[in-house]
């Protein structure tokens, strides 16, 4: 039995509320604190942390890591941001793991060397600018923490996690992916964190957690759940450890991530059938989104479905490169 749940975390909701207020959340923006936004913009433009939409690898530092750890108090949040600063300077995530050992037990399976290199490479030579940006933003979150808490707490009390869990059948989704892919799910469980602020259909927080905009409801959550569990099924660490894909993961981590997303889209119809749910290929926002996965899925349809998964990924990668899709 997999440890699955729907939950609500304050920190990622607080973070997105802050981005709205600063004018950094696109159409969601309110632009209430222009002075802070301007200060962030002075150092943030190089890191995609400026209007109209904040993004880029800086998001792992200010959103994913704190959001995953879900601090209970602003003092703990600020401690986490100090550890994030250490990560930027050293490239070593072990201090964070050492401080929160129970929460980060599986981070070594997720924060592999290839991912850390992708995250930190844009900051090379500009570490002090990154630390300044993180310091400004975390200080703003600390000020906003007590202002937003009552509003979030009221929403959280009204949010029916039990109903969502009953409808989503999350453990069954994991079981269905295991049956279709003929491999074991690589993590202890899966948590879907519902957020009242973000419009996102799915944003990863770490190995076993995603953020979902609560506005999408249970139907939207179902689609995101099936997809995000599927993306995690092959396991980043397994691909790193296998001789067929270890070099590809080191040389083109982003390209391999696109293949993981495409593999999920390829397998999804069978998983949905296993679950007894309808799959709308035309309405699949992951398949038809910005990543441009349709061509990769078309190549995948001509490859063997069973057998050694990493070896298939290696063949698929080479064909996609030849065709110019990676």
172, part of any domain: no
The per-residue pLDDT for 110 is: 96
Whether 147 and 267 share a structural domain? no
What pLDDT, in 10s, does the model give residues 215-229?
999 999 999 999 999
Torsion of CA 228, 3, 77, 21, to 10 degrees: 40
Mark which of 125, 143, 158 sits at the end of a domain.
Answer: 158
Q: Is 68 helix (H, G, I), strand (E, B) or coil?
A: helix
What pLDDT, in 10s, does the model give residues 3-23?
999 999 999 999 999 999 999
Tokens 């509320």 locate to: 17
The per-residue pLDDT for 15 is: 96
Give the count of beta carbons closer than 10 Å to the beta carbon of residue 161: 14
Q: Is 280 buried (19+), middle (13-18) or exposed (0-12) by CB count in 10 A?
A: exposed
Torsion of CA 307, 313, 319, 324, to 10 degrees: 160
Mean pLDDT, to the nearest integer, of 162-175? 96
Length of the chain: 326
> Which of the 8 DSSP states describes residue 53?
B
Residue 213: pLDDT over 90: yes
| Strand-strand pairing, 203-206 and 209-213 | antiparallel
Q: Where are the alpha helices (DSSP H) in 112-216?
A: 113-120, 127-158, 161-168, 170-181
Whether 36 and 154 share a structural domain? yes
Tokens 């599927």 locate to: 230
Whether 255 and 139 share a structural domain? no
Least confident of 37-46, 89-98, 183-192: 37-46
Whether 15 and 154 share a structural domain? yes
Non-local CB neighbours of 140 within 8 Å, separated by 6+ positions: 18, 22, 33, 36
The per-residue pLDDT for 18 is: 97
Q: Return the percentage of the chain with pLDDT > 70, whole number.
A: 100
Mark which of 158, 185, 207 sits at the end of a domain.
Answer: 158
Whether 134 and 266 share a structural domain? no
Whether 19 and 138 share a structural domain? yes
The per-residue pLDDT for 53 is: 75
Residue 304: pLDDT over 90: no
Residue 306: pLDDT over 80: no
Q: Is 182 helix (H, G, I), strand (E, B) or coil?
A: coil
SS3 breakdown of the chain: % helix, strand, coil, rounded to 5? 65, 5, 30
Whether 152 and 240 share a structural domain? no
* Model confidence band, residue 309 (pLDDT cutoffs 50, 70, 90): very high
Contact 208, 192 (CB under 8 A): no
* Model confidence band, residue 46 (pLDDT cutoffs 50, 70, 90): confident
167, part of any domain: no
Whether 121 and 242 share a structural domain? no
Mark which of 138, 158, 178 sits at the end of a domain.
Answer: 158
Omega of the bond prior to 313 within 30 degrees of 0, cis? no
Give the count of beta carbons closer than 10 Å to the beta carbon of residue 276: 9
207, part of any domain: no
Residue 305: pLDDT over 80: no
Contact 222, 242 (CB under 8 A): no
Whether 140 and 241 share a structural domain? no
Mean pLDDT, to the nearest integer, of 58-72? 95
The CA distance from 62 to 145, in Å, is 15
Contact 215, 199 (CB under 8 A): yes
The per-residue pLDDT for 57 is: 86
Residue 307: pLDDT over 80: no
Contact 250, 113 (CB under 8 A): yes
Whether 137 and 22 share a structural domain? yes
The CA distance from 67 to 60, in Å, is 9
171, part of any domain: no
Q: Is 323 helix (H, G, I), strand (E, B) or coil?
A: helix
Domain that holds residue 240: 234-326
What pLDDT, in 10s, does the model give residues 177-200?
999 999 999 999 999 999 999 999
216, part of any domain: no
Count of domains observed in the chain: 2
The per-residue pLDDT for 49 is: 85
Residue 52: pLDDT over 80: no
Residue 206, φ and ψ in degrees, nearest 5: 170, -160
| Mean predicted lDDT score pLDDT of the chain | 94
Residue 301's Cα: distance from chain center in Å?
A: 27
40, part of any domain: yes
Mean pLDDT, to the nearest integer, of 137-146? 98
What pLDDT, in 10s, does the model give residues 235-289?
999 999 999 999 999 999 999 999 999 999 999 999 999 999 999 888 888 888 8
186, part of any domain: no
Whether 144 and 284 share a structural domain? no
225, part of any domain: no
Give the count of beta carbons closer than 10 Å to the beta carbon of residue 108: 13
Least confident of 22-26, 141-145, 245-249: 22-26
* Model confidence band, residue 66 (pLDDT cutoffs 50, 70, 90): very high
Contact 36, 22 (CB under 8 A): yes
Q: Is 13 helix (H, G, I), strand (E, B) or coil?
A: helix
């Amino acid at each position: 039995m997999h440890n699955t749940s729907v939950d609500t975390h304050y920190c990622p909701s607080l973070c997105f509320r802050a981005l709205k207020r600063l004018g950094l959340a696109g159409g969601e923006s309110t632009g209430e604190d222009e002075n802070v936004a301007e200060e962030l913009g002075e150092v943030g433009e190089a890191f995609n942390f400026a209007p109209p939409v904040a993004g880029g690898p800086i998001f792992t530092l200010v959103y994913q890591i704190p959001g995953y750890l879900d601090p209970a108090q602003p003092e703990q949040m600020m401690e986490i941001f100090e550890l994030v600063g250490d990560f930027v300077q050293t490239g070593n995530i072990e201090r964070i793991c050492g401080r929160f050992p129970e929460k980060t037990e599986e981070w070594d399976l997720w924060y592999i060397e290839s991912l850390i290199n992708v995250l930190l490479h844009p900051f090379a030579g500009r570490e002090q600018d990154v630390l300044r940006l993180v310091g400004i933003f975390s200080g703003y979150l600390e000020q906003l923490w007590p202002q937003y808490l009552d509003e979030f707490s009221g929403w959280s009390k009204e949010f029916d996690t039990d109903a969502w869990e009953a409808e989503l059948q999350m453990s069954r989704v994991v079981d269905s992916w295991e049956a279709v892919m003929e491999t074991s799910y690589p993590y202890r469980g899966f948590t879907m964190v519902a957020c009242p602020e973000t419009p996102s259909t799915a944003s990863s927080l770490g190995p076993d957690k995603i953020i979902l905009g609560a506005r999408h409801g249970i139907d939207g959550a179902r689609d995101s759940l099936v997809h995000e569990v599927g993306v995690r099924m092959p396991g980043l660490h397994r691909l790193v450890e296998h001789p067929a894909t270890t070099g590809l993961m080191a040389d083109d981590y982003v390209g391999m991530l696109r293949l993981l997303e495409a593999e999920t889209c390829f397998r999804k119809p069978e998983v949905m059938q296993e679950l007894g749910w309808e799959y709308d290929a035309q309405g699949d926002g992951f398949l038809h989104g910005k990543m441009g996965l349709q061509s990769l899925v078309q190549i995948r349809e001509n490859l063997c479905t069973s057998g050694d998964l990493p070896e298939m990924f290696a063949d698929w990668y080479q064909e996609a490169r030849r065709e110019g899709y990676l």
